[in-house]
Structure 1
Amino acid sequence: MTAIITIQQHYDQLDIKGCHTILAEPIKVAGTINLAKLAAQPDAWQVGIDEAGRGPLLGSVTVAAAILPADWSGLIEDAPLKNTPLSALTDSKKLSEKKRDLLYPQIQAEAVGFVIADIPAAVIDQLNILQATMTGMALVVETLMTTLLSQNTEVLNIQALFDGNRCPDLNENLLNHPRLTIDSQAWVKGDARHTSMAAASVLAKVYRDQTMIELAKRHPNYLIESHKGYPTKAHLQAIEKFGVLPEHRRSYRPVRLALERDLVN
């Protein structure tokens, strides 16, 4: 049996709220599952899910799911990560960029499994940012669970912990699977409260920042490396001077107004 399962999937069509939807661009999902660590897990375990990039005008929104070893998964205030390689882990917003960059590969190495979904700007425009985020949150959980079930895993009792105030609708076939039970929970500010959601928050944030740095190399005039797509003064000035990029979110007001101005002129 292979020790590490590599996950690489593209979704170009999905059922969203009961409707078959052909996506404007594919959603990419990637990650790994460590089967040796999985075998050491108890019957019940937790998946933390978080997102990064709902506010920017540019680029994808990123969603990540992370499963930490059972002894490491719990309330941050109870210090389950003390004396582990992830002892510095907390909500990504409370960490410096340097610390996040150091934790990113460590989380991937130490996790039982993780998945990251990249939902492009065109899909955000197609679905709206809330629905795009919920779709990504559902996808990372469903991809992890489907992969685990394909390995003839025994009955899985899962707590899916979603950062925020709502849970996505998961696939009915998965929810009714005889070898799987999923308890979905919404945790407000969960990434600052639970280690698994904190791990997911770092994975989502660093992955998205890396995509922004790559985009900055292709469009140096936009100073993307500094604002990461958020609507800063410098970013808005760049849009006004150099125009709207293909990766901009056209449904967001500053981008939409810039396109309208270009049509008038």
Structure 2
Amino acid sequence: MLHIESNLLQIERSIEQIDIKGQYINLASPIYLSGQLNINELLAQYSNNIAQSDTSSVLQIGVDEAGRGPLLGSVNVASAILPRAWSGLIEGQPLKDTPLSILTDSKQLSEKKRDMLYPLVQQHAIGYVIADIPAAVIDQVNILQATMLGMRLCTEVMLEVIAYHLNDMAQDVHQLHAEVLFDGNRCPELNYARLVELGVEEKVDCQAWIKGDARHTSIAAASILAKVSRDKTMYALDAQHPEYGIAKHKGYPTRAHMEAIETYGVLAAHRRSFAPVRKALKR
């Protein structure tokens, strides 16, 4: 679903079924995606790429995740497109003298700085998508596959929205060149049949970047979106279940969290496939 507000396309999706290698799987719980795209700014900054296949202005999409290790709650994934002049290696300082000048790997920043950057990334990014993959899906497919699924969906939804609106504006989508930069040592397997339908399958270069959130500005931007959006869900859970101290441990297996599980039991949002939760359920 798309909503247009001024020059921004608001993106909202709820995924209940997913096609994996030609087979549809009913998800144990819906995956929610949200975000926005400034199509006019995309055209203004990457018009050479789209109109003339100028490889010097390849569209770079950074993708990162947050929350693989906790026992509780969702794993969140985000994709982000920064302005062309801001997208590049962090060591090259493309963000110097910009509102995102302190942006780097979210794990290297204080929570206060992450919270400050979160709305700035949303405001200045040309586009972003955030996916919330719930605990039930993590238990259904395992945490690695849930993370890969989130990365895949954030990428495909971004490319789909871009391709749809380029076609709608009579732009040649076949000239779009995009690099998708995934934090980590592997890339998700995209639905290439869908990319063929969009007309961009040969123009998408997927790359795995180890410690990419500390190396590339677009991945760092995605890391902020993923981390802070997940923290927001943790604070919401903390308000519902204050006795678990979720605001402090964010679902990670701290001593206080394990003691809360022993005292109060397992919540619906706990990941039942994770060993400490599975053991607690047996007891």
2:52 corresponding residue in structure 1: none
1:250 aligns with 2:272: yes
Q: Deviations over 1:2-31 (max 9, x none)?
A: 510000000000012443100000000000
> Per-residue deviation at 1:242?
0.2
1:130 aligns with 2:150: no
Is the partner of 1:150 in helix, strand or coil? Answer: helix
- Counterpart CA distance in 2 for 1:179 and 1:216 is 43
1:119 aligns with 2:141: no
1:170 corresponding residue in structure 2: 190
TM-score when normalising by structure 2: 0.90
- Counterpart CA distance in 2 for 1:41 and 1:128 is 39
Correspondence 1:196-235 to 2 at 5 A: 196-235=218-257
Correspondence 1:71-90 to 2 at 5 A: 71-90=85-104
User: Are 2:39 and 2:162, in contact at CA under 8 Å, matched by a contact in 1?
Assistant: no
TM-align CA RMSD:
1.2
Correspondence 1:121-200 to 2 at 5 A: 121-151=135-165, 152=167, 153-155=171-173, 156-176=176-196, 177-179=198-200, 181-200=203-222
Is the partner of 1:124 in helix, strand or coil? Answer: helix
1:28 corresponding residue in structure 2: 32
User: Are 1:73 and 1:196, in contact at CA under 8 Å, matched by a contact in 2?
Assistant: yes
User: Are 2:68 and 2:75, in contact at CA under 8 Å, matched by a contact in 1?
Assistant: yes
- Counterpart CA distance in 1 for 2:149 and 2:278 is 24
> Which residue identity does 1:38 align to in structure 2?
L
Q: Which runs of 5+ in 1 are unaligned?
A: none
Q: Which runs of 5+ in 2 are unaligned?
A: 50-57
Between Structure 1 and Structure 2, how many residues are aligned? 261
User: Are 1:101 and 1:206, in contact at CA under 8 Å, matched by a contact in 2?
Assistant: yes
1:54 aligns with 2:68: yes
Is the partner of 1:10 in helix, strand or coil? Answer: strand
- Counterpart CA distance in 1 for 2:159 and 2:274 is 33
Is the partner of 2:45 in helix, strand or coil? Answer: coil
User: Are 1:56 and 1:228, in contact at CA under 8 Å, matched by a contact in 2?
Assistant: yes
Single out whichever of 9-18 and 192-201 deviates more from structure 2: 9-18
- Counterpart CA distance in 2 for 1:38 and 1:87 is 21
Sequence identity, in percent?
60
> Per-residue deviation at 1:149?
1.2
> Per-residue deviation at 1:179?
4.3
1:38 aligns with 2:42: yes
User: Are 2:29 and 2:137, in contact at CA under 8 Å, matched by a contact in 1?
Assistant: yes
- Counterpart CA distance in 1 for 2:200 and 2:181 is 20
1:67 corresponding residue in structure 2: 81
User: Are 1:90 and 1:195, in contact at CA under 8 Å, matched by a contact in 2?
Assistant: yes
- Counterpart CA distance in 2 for 1:96 and 1:45 is 29
Single out whichever of 154-163 and 175-184 deviates more from structure 2: 175-184
- Counterpart CA distance in 2 for 1:207 and 1:144 is 18
